Amino acid sequence: MDKMLYTAAAGATRIMEAQAIRANNLANADTTGFKADLERVNAKAITATGNSLQTRVLAQTESSGFSQQSGVLNPTGRTLDLAISDQGLFSVMTADGEAYTRSGVVVPDAQGQLSIDGRLVMGVDGPIALPEYRELFVGDDGRISIIADQNGITEEVGQLKLVNPDLDQLSKSQDGLFYGVDGQPLPADNTVQVRSGYLESSNVQAVSELIASMDLTRQFEVQVKLMQSAEKLAETGNRLLRDA
């Protein structure tokens, strides 16, 4: 009965971990640029002790990265609403160093410094600050230009730092941002293309996530019933031993 109870409890734990991943995805279904987390189930063997045999192999949920599928690009008409056309990430500065995101809601503060979700936007030469301007343009390569006065002269004020690393160079943090696995800033990639006046929606497929969540709920109920069955069998065995 111990093996049955332990296996069912481990299964229920794995399902709860998977439910947490699905719930987080659903909670971010409307988050700009959010990439859905994936799950992976691995076999986990119980370490044998003494002369005992390794007879238990359980399921263990592990993070399997995130979905690379691009979200839908929705027009906004706002120049500093930016979206990456295909693969790539914007660079921002956090307390833990340089981080990366697909969210392109760029907002200037009172001093003209650009930020995304309160984090400074990184350019190829550092944070970007806008002087006073009459018109603003963002090129496909991330170059930000302004027309400052009535003379119509265009002046470049900075270029967004855009990166496009391999997946094995990135890790996703609980804050929803991506970081380099070695903690070092990633190099800029000049091939990444930006579209001004658009925002990328979350790539979470809400219907699929709901169906998966319902399926996990049924699986959890099965594990609970197995634990209840194990308890009843143990009680029956103890009763037989007492009556013997």
User: With 60 as the cut, is the pLDDT of residue 68 above it?
Assistant: yes
Query: Is the Cβ–Cβ distance between 158 and 128 less than 8 Å?
Result: yes
Collect all residues with Cβ–Cβ distance below 8 Å to 230 and sequence separation of at least 6.
Answer: 1, 4, 5, 8
How many whole angstroms separate alpha carbon 49 and alpha carbon 207? 45
124 versus 51: the higher-pLDDT residue is: 124
DSSP reduced 3-state for 159: strand
pLDDT tens digits along 167-194 = 888 888 888 899 998 888 999 999 999 9
- Residue 61: predicted pLDDT: 56
How many whole angstroms separate alpha carbon 97 and alpha carbon 100? 10
DSSP reduced 3-state for 228: helix
- Residue 62: predicted pLDDT: 57
pLDDT category at 232 given cuts 50, 70, 90 is confident
Residues facing residue 154 across a β-bridge? 147
* Locus of tokens 């690393």: 165
User: With 80 as the cut, is the pLDDT of residue 52 above it?
Assistant: no
Strands (E), the chain: 37-45, 57-66, 73-75, 82-84, 89-94, 97-101, 106-108, 114-116, 119-123, 126-127, 135-138, 143-147, 154-159, 162-163, 170-172, 178-180, 194-196, 198-200
Structure tokens at 21: 């991943």
- Residue 113: predicted pLDDT: 95
207 versus 241: the higher-pLDDT residue is: 207
Q: What is the average pLDDT score of the chain?
A: 86
* Rg, the chain, Cα only: 26
How many whole angstroms separate alpha carbon 75 and alpha carbon 198? 4
- Residue 165: predicted pLDDT: 92
Query: Is the Cβ–Cβ distance between 64 and 42 less than 8 Å?
Result: no
Query: In whole angstroms, what separates CA 105 from the centre of its chain?
Result: 17
Q: Within 10 A of 78 (CB to CB), how many other CB atoms are there?
A: 13
pLDDT tens digits along 12-42 = 888 888 899 899 999 999 999 998 988 766 5
| pLDDT over 90 percentage in the chain | 50
Q: Which of 40-49, 113-122, 128-137, 211-220 has the lowest mean pLDDT?
A: 40-49
Mean pLDDT over 58-84 rounds to 82
Mean pLDDT over 137-144 rounds to 94
User: With 90 as the cut, is the pLDDT of residue 67 above it?
Assistant: no
User: With 90 as the cut, is the pLDDT of residue 239 above it?
Assistant: no
Judge residue 49's burial from the number of C-beta atoms within 10 Å of its C-beta, 0-12 exposed, 13-18 middle, 19 or more buried.
exposed
